[in-house]
Amino acid sequence: MIKTKKQGSLIIISGTTCAGKGTVIKKILENHNDIVLSVSYTSRPKREHEIDGVDYYFVTSEEFEKKIENNDFLEYAKVQYGAYYGTPKAEIVEQLNTGKDVILEIDVQGAKQIKEKFPETILIFIMAPSMEEVKRRIKMRGDENNEQIISRFRVAYNEINQINNYNYVVVNDDLLEAVKKVEAILLSEKLRVDRIEEMYVENEEEIIHEFLVDKELENKSTTIE
């Protein structure tokens, strides 16, 4: 009786440093073949282990700036050391039109830009259980000095202060539970009334309905007589 819109959902997943958002997304993609991850563009050099078109689309600064001129990005930013990062528009729209949900793993600033352009975007923020746990996870990596750790903390606190811009927040204290919560959010979004395209009644249902109406009118008529 219900026909839902074929259009896929645009999903933004952000999170503080060491919150495990990348791992959560990886599990979601493993569990659902109708959900894809958007691949961003960047002008930074490709690292040895990275694959063009999988990790990022690697382009020159000139190519990136040309795409900016052509309005090819949903959002973009120039970060430290002058590298550009941007979310492609055409690829995402194509995936959404086929009915696939698209996940964007971007920061709070990029999320804000996209939400302004596409208000129906689903925004999910992944958090670690505590900042103490964040510190522990950073130290476990062992590849950053104290100054870099402090910088990460400052960014994390700034991002946490902006979670009111998001629709949902999920604390990743247990990976499998966090994945289940994100999946529950995506399912509930699919069941929203505003995703209904049309209501219809099958022929058999129409016949049953007419029969019940006729019987009710017949009974009322008999009572009046």
pLDDT at 223 over 60: no
pLDDT tens digits, 70-102: 999 999 988 766 899 999 999 999 999 999 999
Structure tokens at 147: 């100054």
Q: What is the CATH number of the domain that holds 209?
A: 3.40.50.300
- Whether the CB-CB separation of 134 and 155 falls below 8 Å is answered with no
- Whether the CB-CB separation of 12 and 123 falls below 8 Å is answered with yes
Q: Does residue 63 lie in a domain region?
A: no
Q: What is the mean pLDDT of the chain?
A: 85
Higher pLDDT, 184 or 108: 184
pLDDT at 207 over 70: no
pTM, entire model: 0.79
Element (H, E) at 171: strand 168-171
Sheet bearing 73-78, strands edge to edge:
57-58, 41-42, 84-88, 73-78
**Rounded average pLDDT over 140-160:** 76
Q: Does residue 49 lie in a domain region?
A: no
> For the chain, what is the domain count?
1
Q: Does residue 77 lie in a domain region?
A: no
Print the domain residue range for 20.
2-38+101-224
Q: Does residue 45 lie in a domain region?
A: no
pLDDT at 34: 93
**Rounded average pLDDT over 182-194:** 90
Closest among 31, 41, 119 to 77, alpha carbons compared: 41
